[in-house]
Every structure is written in structure tokens, then in C-alpha cells.
Amino acid sequence: MNREAYLGVTSSATGRFWADRLDSAMAREAEAIAAMQGVPMILARIAAGRGIGVAGAAAFLQPRLRDSLPDPSVLLDMDKAVARLVSAIEADEKIAIFGDYDVDGACSSALLGDYLRGFGLDPLVHIPDRLTEGYGPNEEAIRALHGRGARLLVCVDCGTSGHQPLAAAARLGMDVIVLDHHQAPETLPDVHALVNPNRLDDLSCLGHLCAAGVVFLALAGLNRALRAAGKRVPDLMSAIDLVALASVADVVPLTGLNRAFVAQGLKVMRARERIGLAALADVARLDAEPEAWHLGFLLGPRINAGGRIGDAALGAKLLMSRELGEAREIAARLDLLNRERQAVEEAMLAEAEADALAQVGPEESGRASLVVSGANWHPGIVGIVAGRLKERFRRPAFAIAMGEEGLATGSGRSIAGADLGAAVRAAVEAGILVKGGGHAMAAGVTLESSRIADFAAFLEARLAGAVSDALALDALQIDAALTAESLTADFALLLGEAGPFGQGNPEPVIALPAHKLVDLRDIKGQHLKATLQSAGGNRIEAMAFRAVGRPLGEALASLRGQLIHVVANVGRDMWGGKPRASLRILDIARAG
């Protein structure tokens, strides 16, 4: 990374060093991409800044699923899973789907459930209650599914570590298929087929997929096998919207196949043919064409709300709904639950941030990882709180809810370069955790409340080196500098051609050098709306979300009327029925 300070900013309002995302070699690569692809330099710079060479530029700028989709058989055990599902479909067997209570689990369950319904089957779908059942398959639920006639159990987005419950399923005479993506232990459950690109013995190089992506590949394999048997098969492209939603919500890298999933899935979603998603978009007041960030910030949280503080099955029911009235009713319930979740989150976050501030110190140079806990915290909200702490303090964070029976449950979020899933597995093996699992960027744990301090110490020792290395490279990387005159609706549309944006393909970061902060307004005591004016006199409004009372908000308030350098993401919204560019401020610094 080029360590020369961009615009001379070595310590911004948020304490960041600013740097050009492109070093000299990348800048030359950008010039070559622009010349060979015939695209504007800003698109070429975005591609080059994400490690895309000339050879890969066309695929980056126009991601196509047909160019990225692998042969499903490259995944270990996929052929066994497909063959067993084919026999179940042909024999009209009762199939049970056991999912997870998050967005990826709901989407995975709906993907497989809808597919099976297309063949006239009526699969049983079970989403466990977060509080009473916990994550993954459990014996009581499996026995109930068996009692309802299920002889084939398919676990989606879970099951890789479910040794005892899946052994119980086998004793009942059930065949078990696992379609998962979570990091796997060395010893796997003894099941009919366990398809997981993160198995230690899987060589598919598809470990970046979410569970819905794995399920989609299984359905592609099923289509191929059933077509060879002379059967008519569903159009899988109509289901790609669910893979897109799960990929964004589960924060998997939006590179390669995932990027194609999201790009194509957004196109399907814009047609509003899935009535559940259309109803959810309506209650979320999403009146523009959906973009990737809408999935992560508007739709995903509402689906998650059911699993966090309500009925965990609501998300999957909504996504599988075929009746408009039912879809609208479920969407309204999820929207209400989401508002309740936001109120609970606000109270928990205030307590968690105070604890975290004590750990990192006033200069934020203390602990490399954060573990906070509360006796009255809602277990369904801890993941969101952990994510907020990770974003604010730029280091791995766990939030843990202590229960009444001496057990605590927690969720963690990490930064690039610090593998949280591996650290949690190591803590399980060390006997500190009762159970735990996850992947590099997110993990969940169950432990005795008395061991929280031990877990915090273990995590610190395990991750300190990786976090130190990551923070040393933690410059705010900027793609280009422009003025307010350039930030038009057409420019925002142009930037979108480098999307979809998310983990692994971050939104472009645009600098506005030396713009005057002519106005600043408080929005609901949380956000700030700034009016910026260029040297040429053009004005543009920009939002600083969750900035009130934070270093960014305090800096903006102190610099009203002065020239500042602004760094922002650029989006596109509607105002008065017309499109316009919208800015989301990431950071500022005094100009001059």
C-alpha cells in the first residue's frame, strides 16, 4: 500500500491515515484497463484498486453467472447428496429441512423448499428458536420431524458440527445431508453426505460461498441429474435473488462467483416476482431499485429480526409465501419486530460501548480485541452489538449475554486479517467454551459465565498479533478525488457499474478536497446532514450516519463554516421524483 498521505492527512477526525488505494503499478494498470476496455478512468481505477488486472477487467465490469458457475461435482460429497435427493424426489419421500435462524439460513431453507415444492413435494421446514433450541440441529426437533414422517433430513447453513443430534437422526433411520459453509472440525458427523467447501478435505476452492450458494449449486446438480432422467426441471435463475440476499447479509466476499450471484440476483429482485421480498421491500419503504446495500441494511435486518426476538421461522415463511395477504402480514410483523430490536439494541449498545471504551482507553491503543457482556442483554441482539463495536473500534469484538443458569451466549465480528472462526474453534478445543463455531469474519459461542474473562484473555493472546498487523495497514484508502460539480446522478450510476459492492469489493471511496462546510443539521439526535460547497460554488448535501456524540460528529460541529477535506461513499437516491447523487460521509479533516 502506498503510505504517502492522501491530501496530507495523517490523522483524520476518526484518527485514520488517508492513502491512495492505488500505488504506481496499480495506476498504470488502471490506464491500461481504461484504454483496452474503453471505460471511464474512475471505473478503471476501481477495478485496478481491487487487484483486477487487464485480463480480468471485462469479467469484473460485467459479472455473468455462466462465466463463473463451477461444476457442482467439484464439491466433495455433492454427487452423493444429489443422488439421494433425486431418489427422494422420485419416490415422493417426506423430506425435512433444518435451517438456521439468520438470513442465510432462511434463504437456504426457502431455496430448497421451493425447489421441492416444484415437484409436488411438501417438505417440512424447521428453523430452531435461538433462545430455546440454539444454533444447529437438536435431538428433540429431529425426533419431531421423524414423527411427522420425514426419512430424509437436509441441514442447510448448519450441521457441520452437529455430531450428537445427527447421530440420533441416524438411529431413527433417517438419512442426513448437510449443505453448509461454516468452518469445519477435523472430525465430521457420520452422515450420508456432508457438502461444505470449508471441509478440511474439500479441494473445490469455494470456501467463500454462503450456505445459500452451496444450496444453489446442489440444485444445479439436481437439475442436471433430473434432466438426464427425462424430467422437467425448475428455472433456477428465478431463485438467484435468494442467493444474492444471503450473500450480502452473511457478509461473504463479493468476488468471483459470489459477485455474479449478487449482480444477477439484484436483476431478478428488481422484477418483484417473489411476493415475500416485494412485501418486505414495501414495509421497508424501499422505493428505488434495490442495490446490494439495501439487502444488507434494509431487507436483511428485518428477516433477521424474527430469529433475534420473535418467531425464527418467519423469514423462511415469508420467502416461501405464495399468497399476497400472508406475505404482507408476515412482512409487517417482521418490520415491527425490527423496530423493537432497534430499541433493545440502542440500550445494549450504550452499555457495551462504555465497557469497550474502558478496554481500549482514550487513545484506543489498549486491547486488540473486545469482549463485553451484560446480565440483562438479549441473546438475539449480541451479534448486532458486536458488529457496531467492530465498526467503531476497528478490531474484533464479542458481545455476550449472560443467562440465569450460569451459561452465556455470545456473538463476535472481526476485521480482515483476524480469523475469528479459527480462534473460537481453538477456544473450544482448549476447554474454555462449551461450544462455538463460525467463519473468519463472524462466530458464535456458548460458555459458562464464569469463563468470560478466560475467553477474553484467550482471544487477546490468539488475535493480538494479527490485529496489530491489520491495524498497521488500516489506512482509509481512497479511490479518487472529485468536486461537488462532478457528483451527479449520472456519475453515481456510473460508479454502480463497478458493483455490486460489499465484503471483498468495497464501495468506492471518493474524496472532496477543500469544500466549505456551510451548514450542519442534527437528524433525530443521531445523524448529521452537512451541506458542502465547492470552490466553484456548487453545493451538495451529505449524511454522516450515527455521528452525533462521536469523533466524526464533534469534528463536523467544530468546523462549521470552514474548509474541510471530506471522504465519502457515493450513492443514488430519488428526490422530488428525480434521481440525484447522495453522499455518506466516512471521515473528514481540516483543509490547510
Domain limits, the chain: 6-21+476-590, 67-336, 361-472
Question: Which grid coordinates are listed for 161?
Answer: 458440527
Residue 234 or 183, more confident:
234
CATH code reported for the domain at 361-472: 3.10.310.30
- The secondary element (H helix, E strand) that includes residue 53 is none
- CA dist 423 and 401 (Å) reads 19
pLDDT in tens, 517-560: 999 999 999 999 999 999 999 999 999 999 998 999 999 999 99
Q: Is the distance from CB of 123 to CB of 112 less than 8 angstroms? A: yes
> Could you give the dihedral angle defined by the CA atoms of residues 134, 276, 575 and 478, in that order, rounded to the nearest 10 degrees?
40
Grid look-up 399468497 returns: 323
- CA dist 261 and 254 (Å) reads 9
pLDDT in tens, 67-81: 899 999 999 999 999
Q: Is the distance from CB of 180 to CB of 214 less than 8 angstroms? A: yes
pTM value?
A: 0.88
Instruction: Report DSSP letters for 194-253, one per residue.
Output: EE-TTSTT--SS-TT--HHHHHHHHHHHHHHHHHHTT-----GGGGHHHHHHHHHHTT--
> Would strands 152-156 and 175-179 be described as parallel, antiparallel, or unpaired?
parallel
> How far from chain centre, in Å, is Cα 66?
24
> How far from chain centre, in Å, is Cα 147?
36
Report the interhelical angle of 240-249 vs 300-309 (nearest 10°): 70
Q: Is the distance from CB of 212 to CB of 243 less than 8 angstroms? A: yes
> How far from chain centre, in Å, is Cα 424?
19
Q: Among 2.60.40.1940, 3.10.150.10, 2.30.40.10, 2.40.50.460, what is the CATH number of 6-21+476-590?
A: 2.40.50.460
pLDDT in tens, 416-438: 889 999 999 999 999 999 988 88
Grid look-up 447522495 returns: 582
Residue 43 or 4, more confident:
43
Report the percent of the chain where pLDDT is more than 70.
99
Three-state DSSP state, 39: coil
Residues 6+ apart with CB under 8 A from 79: 73, 221
- CA dist 364 and 475 (Å) reads 16
What pLDDT, on the 0 to 100 scale, is given for residue 2?
47
Cis geometry, peptide bond prior to residue 500 (ω within 30 degrees of 0): yes
What pLDDT, on the 0 to 100 scale, is given for residue 363?
65
pLDDT in tens, 206-215: 999 999 999 9
Amino acid at 256: G
pLDDT in tens, 481-509: 999 999 999 999 999 999 999 888 999 99
- CA dist 190 and 487 (Å) reads 57
**DSSP code of residue 546:** T
Q: Among 3.40.980.10, 3.40.50.150, 3.40.50.620, 3.90.1640.30, what is the CATH number of 67-336?
A: 3.90.1640.30
- CA dist 120 and 117 (Å) reads 5
Mean pLDDT for the stretch of residues 256-284 = 96
The pLDDT of residue 1 is above 60: no
Instruction: Report DSSP letters for 247-273, one per residue.
Output: HHHTT---SHHHHHHHHHHHHHHHTT-
The pLDDT of residue 272 is above 50: yes
